Amino acid sequence: MKIIHLTDPHIIGAVRANLFGLNPTDRLKKALKSINKHHSDAKFIAITGDLADNATKKAYKNYKNIIEDSKIPVYSILGNHDNRSFFKEVFTEFKDNDFIQYSFTIKKNAFIFLDTLDQGKMSGTLCSKRYKWLTEKLEEYKEYNVYLFMHHHPIKCGLYEFDTTAHFRNKNKFWKTLGQYKNIRHISFGHLHRIINANRDGISMHCTRSTAFQVALKTNTKAECLTNKEKPTYAIINIDGANFRIHHHEFLDENKIYECEGRWNQIISGED
């Protein structure tokens, strides 16, 4: 079974407006076009937060218009840039929910989507109400392979700002909660705008790049995070029982195909 993970589209209300010299709307559209073309067999697409950059109602309307073109179902959760109230005004199916959390199963796999937004803060957390819901779900899905989706990274990542002001708070409670279950296979998160793989307590994790802008790799420094020209990706997750593999795909240049037989530098088809 195949699922797709993309993250941090940072959509803005004005469709033609740029962010750091790129257009987030165009890039999300390109990602969805690529996914629908090459991975039409995917069961769903998970988008793990920072759906909007400036979080206006207009930004969510723009976001909704874009994802509605996807033939593959899209499941969205919120990040620190998002605004839960404006999101619910546009995605009215959540209007009576306190948080944007939900779950579903496909065969023997359970997919749990968490809401780590602490409105107005860069850092994220789960309050007692959200932990109660998570625990109930983990109990319900004891016989399933469980996959979690969340915006904030529940680990130390080595990037100063993301390990301080923009971190996931109260990690110990999170890992203590998960530690009671042996069937949690993987956590997909966003927020870092980088590809990173990690493992804690036997649970593997990954983040893929933003569909919009990226965060430059700067470890061993307290300097402010900067963006760079790394290209956006989405992640393709193939699940086979309790096993899985993940590819990170740079979709912007996917039509540039190179001849492999000794001439890596020759473009034989594609577009700029």
* Shortest Å, Cβ 8 to Fe ion: 4
Q: Which stretch binds Fe ion (CB under 5 A): 47-55, 67-75, 99-107, 155-163?
A: 47-55
Of positions 9, 79, 154, 232, contacts Fe ion by CB under 5 A: 79
Site membership for Fe ion, residue 191 (CB under 5 A): yes
Q: Which stretch binds Fe ion (CB under 5 A): 73-81, 133-141, 170-178, 226-234?
A: 73-81
Of positions 25, 80, 208, 233, contacts Fe ion by CB under 5 A: 80
Residue with smallest beta-carbon separation from Fe ion: 50
Site membership for Fe ion, residue 8 (CB under 5 A): yes
Give whichever of 34 and 80 is closer to Fe ion, judged by the CB atom.
80
Of positions 50, 53, 82, 115, contacts Fe ion by CB under 5 A: 50
* Shortest Å, Cβ 71 to Fe ion: 26
* Shortest Å, Cβ 266 to Fe ion: 37
Q: Which residues contact 27 (CB under 8 A, 6 or more apart)?
A: 9, 211, 212, 232, 252
Q: For binding to Fe ion (CB under 5 A), which residues are involved?
A: 8, 50, 79-80, 191
